[in-house]
Structure 1
C-alpha cells in the first residue's frame, strides 16, 4: 500500500512539512514499513516561499521593507530558475501575523511592503514574479503595493490620499506618470488561496475584514471604498476588476495586481501542484491524506485540501482530510472529493491547549484513521 501525505500548514501552529511528519508518525505506528510519500503544500499563504524554494532548490533573499503599519522590518523572498524568477509571499511583508491583535486595523494597513519586495526582485534581475497572496492584514485593494512601484493616488485637489483601505473613498485620479519601468517588462503571476470577488457579500471586506480587525461599520465602509476604487480603475485604466474571481484575495491585492501590475491570477494550489508533480503522485498512491488548520465550506474556494481532493476524485483515489477544526457546512465537502473528514480534538480543549498538543493529536488521529483503513483492507479484515 502506498500513502501520499499532502497537507497545508496548520496556521499559527505547524508548517506543512511538520504536519506531514506527524501524519506519517501516526500511520507508521500501525504499519512501520509502509511506503509513504510526503509533499508539503501551500496555496499562496504561509509556507508558499518555503515550499517553492524546496522544490526548485532556490536561494532566499532578505530585504528591508515596511510592515502593514509602515514600520521597518526584514522580509524574505526566494529566487529560483537561476535568478530569473522571484517567489514572494506577501504575508512576510504585509501579513496579519506581523501585527498584534490590538493593532489590526484594515482602514490604515497597507500592502506597500509587498510592492517593495517586488521592486527589489526586479532590480536584482528577476523578470518573472510569482506572488503568494494569502494571510494579509490589509484591505487596500493593492494600492500600497502599487505606491511602492510608482503609482500615485490623488484626491480631487490633486493631493495624495493617505494609505489604507479607509481612504480609498477620497480617490479621484490614479497617476501613472512615474511607474517603475521594469514593471512592464516583468511577468507577474499571483497565487490566490480564494476565488472571492473584490466587493459584495462574498468580497474581500465582508468575508475577511472582521478577522483583520474590522467592525461591521468598517466592513461597510471598506466595501464601498473598494467599489469606488474599481470605478476609478475602470475610468483611468480601462480595466474591469470588480467581479474578477480571486480579485478579493488579500484584501483586494488580487485585483490590484491585475490592474496595476498586469498580473495573471491563478490558484496557489495549481502552481504548487505543477511544481511538485502532485497529480502523478496521486495517481501512484492508494490513499491520500491532506488537511489544514480549519476545514469548512470556504475550503472549496480554492484552498489546498480542496485542490488535493479534486485530483483524488479525478483519479478515483480515496482522500482523507484532517483538520484542527471542522467548521460551518463542512459536510458539503463530501460532494467535493473527500472520502471522510476528521477533527483533532479528543475532548474539551482550549485553543491554547489544541495548539500545544497539535503534534500528538495529529499523529493520534492519523493512527486511528489508518487502523480503520487497514482493518478493511488487510487479508483478515
Structure 2
C-alpha cells in the first residue's frame, strides 16, 4: 500500500511539515506496514526555506539585513545545487508604515549571494508588503536616482522618496547581475497600479492607498524615461518587484504549484500512490492552494482524502473524500489540539475506507 502525504500549512499554527507528522501517526495506526512518503509543501506565501530543504539537501545562510522598515533583521536563505533561495515574507511580510517601505534589504541579500559566487537565484515574493516600486532594491544593486536639482539621492531609498525622483541611471548595476539567472515565485497576478493592484486589495485606508498607488504610477513613468518597460497587467506583486525582476533581469515567473511539480517528484508519487492525503487550513474563506487544486484534478481511482480546518472550501467534484477536522480554527488555536484532530481524522477515514 503506497500512501502519499502532501499537506499544506494550517495558517501560522502548523507548518506543512508539522501537519504531516501528525497525519503520519494516524496513517501508521491503520496501515503500520504501508509504504508512506511525505512531501512537505510550499504554498508561495511562506516557508520556502523549510520546504525546499525538506525536498533536497542544502546549506543555510543567515544574515542581518534591513527589512521593509529598514530595521536590521535576521534573514535565513538556503543554497541547493548552487541556487540561492530567498523567501521575502520574513523580510517584508509585516510593516510598521506602508508609506515608508523599502526593498533595500533584498538587494543586500542578492549582493551577499553574488559575493559568495552564486549566479542563480529563486525568490519567493510571498506575503511581501513593500511598496517602493523597487527603488531600494535597485539602489543597493548599483542604480542611481536623481532629484529635481539633479543631485544624487542618497538612501537607503524607500517609498517616501519616490515623489522626488526625476531621473535614474541604471548603467551602474552590478556587472555580475548580467551573468545571473532569476526565478520569481509569485501566486498573485496583481496589476502594477489601479483598482486591481496589490495596494487596492490591501487593508490600508483610502488615503494611504491613493498615495502609494500614485507613487507607483509616477515611478513607472520614470522607469519608462530610463528605457525600462514594466509589465503593468500582472507585475504588481510586492509593489512591482515581480515586474522589476521580469523586465530588468529577464526573470522567469512561476507559481508555487509549478515550482513544486518541477523540483520534486510529486507528479510521479501521485501516479504511484494508492492513497493520497492532502489539504490545508485557512481562517478566512478560501479555496485550496494552487498545488492542492492541481492534485484534485488528478484524483481518479485512488483514494484521495482532503483534510481541512477553518474556512477552507471543499475541493470540487465527488472523487475526493473531504473532512474539516477543526471548523472553528482561529489564530489562537492550540497547535497540539489541531494536530490531534488531524491525526484522529485521518485514522477514522482510513479505518472506514478499509472496512
TM-score, structure 2 normalization: 0.86
| Residue 258 of structure 1 pairs with residue 240 of structure 2 | no
| Residue 352 of structure 1 pairs with residue 332 of structure 2 | yes
* Structure 1 range deviating more: 194-203 or 268-277: 194-203
Change (3 A) 1:161 1:357: farther
Q: Deviations over 1:38-66 (max 9, x none)?
A: 10011333221222233331111122211
Q: CA deviation at 1:256?
A: 2.4
Q: Which residue is equivalent to 1:70?
A: 70
RMSD, aligned α-carbons: 2.9
Change (3 A) 1:254 1:281: same
Q: Which residue is equivalent to 1:225?
A: 215
Q: Deviations over 1:113-169 (max 9, x none)?
A: 111111110111111111111122322233322222122344433353874345434
Q: Deviations over 1:144-198 (max 9, x none)?
A: 2222212234443335387434543444323213211111110111111323333
1: CA distance, partners of 2:140 / 2:307: 40
Q: In structure 2, which of residues 260, 277, 294 is the aligned counterpart of residue 310 of structure 1?
A: 294
In structure 1, runs of 5+ residues without a counterpart are: 97-102
Question: Aligned residues, how many?
Answer: 352
Aligned partners of 2:101 and 2:159 also within 8 Å? yes
Structure that is richer in helix per residue: 1
Task: Map 1:1-381 to 2 at 5 A.
Answer: 1-81=1-81, 84-96=82-94, 104-159=96-151, 160=153, 163-207=157-201, 209-210=202-203, 214-244=204-234, 247-294=235-282, 299=287, 305-314=289-298, 316=300, 319-326=304-311, 330=313, 333-334=315-316, 339=320, 341-345=322-326, 351-355=331-335, 357-372=337-352, 374=353, 378=354, 381=355
TM-score, structure 1 normalization: 0.81
Aligned partners of 2:310 and 2:329 also within 8 Å? no
Match of 1:9, SS? strand
Match of 1:107, SS? helix
* Structure 1 range deviating more: 223-232 or 317-326: 317-326
Q: CA deviation at 1:112?
A: 1.4
Change (3 A) 1:122 1:339: same
Structure that is richer in strand per residue: 2
Q: Deviations over 1:4-39 (max 9, x none)?
A: 211233342222111111122233344433332110
Match of 1:273, SS? helix
Change (3 A) 1:95 1:315: same
In structure 2, runs of 5+ residues without a counterpart are: none
2: CA distance, partners of 1:272 / 1:35: 22
1: CA distance, partners of 2:2 / 2:284: 27
Q: Which residue is equivalent to 1:99?
A: none
Aligned partners of 2:283 and 2:330 also within 8 Å? no
